[in-house]
Structure 1
Amino acid sequence: MSATTRELFERYHACWEARDPDRIAELHTPNSVFHLHSGQAPARGQAAIREEAAGMFDLVPDLTFDLVSLRVGEDFWVVQFKLTGTSVSGAAFNVDLADFVLVENGAVKEKHSYVDGVAMQAAIAPSGLV
Structure 2
Amino acid sequence: MTASTREFFDRYHACWEARDPDRIVALHTEDSLFHLHLGQPPVQGREAIHKAAAEMFSLVPDLTFTLVSLRTGADFWVTRFTLTGTAATGARVDVDLADFVLVEGGAVKEKHSYVDGVAMQAVLSTGEVAR
Contact in 2 for aligned 1:4/1:106 (Cα 8 Å) = no
Which residue matches 1:8?
A: 8
Which residue matches 2:41?
A: 41
Query: Percent identity of the aligned residues?
Result: 70
How far residue 81 of structure 1 moved from its aligned partner, in angstroms, is: 0.1
How far residue 125 of structure 1 moved from its aligned partner, in angstroms, is: 1.1
Q: Distance in 1 between matches of 2:91 and 2:57?
A: 15
Residues 1:114 and 2:123 are matched in the alignment: no
Residues 1:124 and 2:113 are matched in the alignment: no
Contact in 2 for aligned 1:2/1:72 (Cα 8 Å) = yes
Which residue matches 1:17?
A: 17
Which residue matches 1:76?
A: 76
Q: Deviations over 1:53-83 (max 9, x none)?
A: 0000000001000000000100000000000
| Distance 1:75-1:125 versus aligned 2 partners, 3 A rule | same
How far residue 5 of structure 1 moved from its aligned partner, in angstroms, is: 1.0
TM-score (norm 1): 0.96
- Tell me the SS of whatever aligns to 2:90: coil
Corresponding residue pairs, total: 128
How far residue 2 of structure 1 moved from its aligned partner, in angstroms, is: 1.8
Which residue matches 1:88?
A: 88
How far residue 126 of structure 1 moved from its aligned partner, in angstroms, is: 4.2
Unaligned segments of structure 1, at least 5 residues: none
Q: Distance in 1 between matches of 2:127 and 2:36?
A: 23
How far residue 127 of structure 1 moved from its aligned partner, in angstroms, is: 3.9
How far residue 3 of structure 1 moved from its aligned partner, in angstroms, is: 1.3
Q: Deviations over 1:21-66 (max 9, x none)?
A: 0110110000000000111010100000000000000000010000
